Amino acid sequence: MDSNKVNRWLTLGANLGVLGGIILILFELNQNADLMRAQITQSRADNLLALFRGQMESDYWPVIFAKRAKAGSTDAWIDSLTPEEYQRVRFFALLELNDLRTQFEQFQQGYLDQQLFDTAVEAQARRLMVVLHYFPDIRIAGAEYINYLNSIARKYDLETVVQENAIWE
């Protein structure tokens, strides 16, 4: 047999093997991305359940929520809080701010679904923007993130984040 012919067949076989390996790797990467999205979804659900469970079992959150339900406005609610309750709400706003930023970044990286981002994440951003201006010491980093928060604030006619409340990256 001609050695050139054997070399061509071996080269063709090796190239087909490489092509098959690449296809297999692409398939595995796709499966890994699907698994990552599923893990993010489960993590979001676990975080929400833990948050709700913690609030349900808390000695102080039901009191804070009752004050909110009773108040005629957000201003009246914030004014009705004790200094300790105010700090709890402030820390909750910080938690929401950071959780929201994580979700914003996950969405930008393609790990969160558009529909989820446009509904649940937007609703969370709206809740945050209702109270965020009551905590002027909270600093927010990231121009894109701040722009997102301000777009939600403008959409619902809420106060926007002002530059002195921002740390621009």
- What SS3 state is found at 118? helix
The reported pTM is: 0.73
The tens digit of pLDDT for each residue in 139-160 reads 898 889 999 999 999 999 999 9
pLDDT tens track for 118-141? 999 999 999 999 999 999 889 898
CB-side exposure of 112: number of CA atoms within 13 Å?
20
The residue extents of the domains of the chain are 1-57, 58-169
49-52 contact pairs (CB < 8 A, 24+): none
Asked if residue 112 lies in contact with residue 106, where contact means CB atoms within 8 angstroms, the answer is yes
- Write the DSSP string, 28-96: HHHHHHHHHHHHHHHHHHHHHHHHHHHHHH-SSHHHHHHHHHHSSSHHHHHHHS-HHHHHHHHHHHHHH
